[in-house]
Amino acid sequence: MAVTLQEIAERAGVSRGTVDRALNNRGRIRPEVADRIRQIAEEMGYRPNRAGKALAMARRSICIGVVLQEVETMFMRGILEGIEAAREELGHLGASVVLKEIKGLNTKAVIDAMEELRSQNVHAIAMNPSMNRRTKETIDRFADEYGIPIVTFNTDLEDCSRLCYIGQNTYECGRAAAGLMGEIIGGRGEVGVITGYEANPSLNKRVEGFRDEIAARFPEIKLVGVQYAYNSDAIAEDITRELVERHPEISGLFLTVNVEQGVCAALEKEGIIGRVKIISNDLNENNRKLLCDGNIAFVLEQNARVQGYEPIMVLFHLVFDGEKPQCEFQYTDLTIRTRYNLPPV
């Protein structure tokens, strides 16, 4: 049986309450006594019992808020799954999770949601933020003035008081894609990149990583253009057709966004599907099928579930155990998917 507060109290010749005050730095205790108790606890190998703690704290029931902007719908389901899993797990311990879902990108709606959560007395907030000054200011206000810790996920907002960021290292993702591309096209030939919006920093970093790594490791590979498809399959199809016409010998395409449908349609019509190697990002039903059929070589996955789950857990541990996250950037593992290691549906 594990060591309990009571046992420490007996050993120290004080009461449970005193031990509690000593170990949790609650004040109202003579420093010498506190030190002695802490030492005894250490000696006895005391580790607080989470169940007891959770039960006792059930009165001031912990509540974590989540603000979710629906940017990429395919990806969101995974995030929601992760949030649900966290809610389930915390529910067991008497804590709750409040989710505010916002359709589309909308800074005002995000800030309103945050204020609403605050008025509901949440202890912490996990959010995927919009990229602008007002959001940044709001985060700072919450963290610094109201003492509501914030964790960002999926997209980060640097230089503000958010506790940490949980999500993909998009630059490394681009590099990984370049490495794989280099391998499968034999280290030479022409490759193209099709991405989303110019203004999206995450996508830009993927492109940058890809470009840098190709330049560094595969001097014989030529990057023949980075095109913007604005997340539209129709545009992607046009781009691909033009690209293939200009570069009939093209060997590979790196897609930073989910426009596989359009790209593959174009290649199909040109009769070169399968010959042009495709590496894409973020698994969904769509590219999953293309992967199985051999039309796409690799899909790089950023574990969506983890991005929904972890921020909530990090915040819970902070509020519940007082444990700060280990590092400011908690990058999710980059998963390389082929037709052979698809996750069960």
Partner DNA sequence: GTGAAAGCGCTAACAA
Partner DNA sequence: TTGTTAGCGCTTTCAC
**At closest approach, how far in Å is the CB of 184 from a second copy?**
5
Query: Considering CB under 7 A, how many residues would be counted as binding DNA?
Result: 34
Residues 271, 156: Cα–Cα separation, whole Å? 41
Which CB sits closer to DNA, 1 or 199?
1
Q: Could you list the residues that contact a second copy (CB under 8 A)? A: 1-2, 47, 49-55, 58, 61, 91-94, 172, 175-176, 179-180, 183-184, 186, 297, 333-336, 338-341, 343
Q: For DNA, which residue of 11, 38, 44, 48 counts as binding (CB under 7 A)?
A: 48
**At closest approach, how far in Å is the CB of 35 from DNA?**
10
Amino acid at 124: A
Q: For DNA, which residue of 53, 103, 134, 324 counts as binding (CB under 7 A)?
A: 53
Which CB sits closer to DNA, 28 or 345?
28
**At closest approach, how far in Å is the CB of 28 from DNA?**
3
Q: Are 205 and 170 in contact (CB under 8 A)?
A: yes
Q: For DNA, which residue of 14, 86, 173, 313 counts as binding (CB under 7 A)?
A: 14
Q: What is the 3-state secondary structure (H, E, C) of the chain?
A: CCCCHHHHHHHHCCCHHHHHHHHCCCCCCCHHHHHHHHHHHHHHCCCCCHHHHHHHHCCCCCEEEEEEEECCHHHHHHHHHHHHHHHHHHHHCCCEEEEEEEECCCHHHHHHHHHHHHHCCCCEEEECCCCCHHHHHHHHHHHHHHCCCEEEECCCCCCCCCCEEEECCHHHHHHHHHHHHHHHCCCCEEEEEEECCCCCHHHHHHHHHHHHHHHHHCCCEEEEEEEECCCCHHHHHHHHHHHHHHCCCCCEEEECCCCHHHHHHHHHHHCCECCEEEEEECCCHHHHHHHHCCCCCEEEEECHHHHHHHHHHHHHHHHHHCCCCCCCEEECCEEEECCCCCCCC
- 186: partner contacted, choices a second copy, DNA, none (Cβ within 5-8 A by kind): a second copy
Which CB sits closer to DNA, 46 or 254?
46
**At closest approach, how far in Å is the CB of 144 from DNA?**
23
Residue 317 makes contact with DNA by CB under 7 A: no
Residue in the block written with tokens 């594990």:
2
Which CB sits closer to a second copy, 13 or 343?
343
**At closest approach, how far in Å is the CB of 64 from a second copy?**
15
Residue 89 makes contact with DNA by CB under 7 A: no
Residue 91 makes contact with DNA by CB under 7 A: no
x-or-dash string of contact with DNA, 104-133, rule CB under 7 A:
------------------------------
Q: For DNA, which residue of 10, 25, 30, 292 counts as binding (CB under 7 A)?
A: 30
Task: Return the structure tokens found at 213.
Answer: 């790594």
Residue 59 makes contact with DNA by CB under 7 A: yes
Q: For DNA, which residue of 38, 44, 57, 227 counts as binding (CB under 7 A)?
A: 57
Torsion of CA 78, 83, 88, 92, to 10 degrees: 150
Residue 35 makes contact with DNA by CB under 7 A: no
Which CB sits closer to DNA, 123 or 337?
123
User: Which residues of this protein are in contact with DNA, per CB under 7 A?
Assistant: 1-2, 4-6, 13-18, 20-21, 23-24, 26, 28-30, 33-34, 46, 48-49, 51-53, 55-60, 94
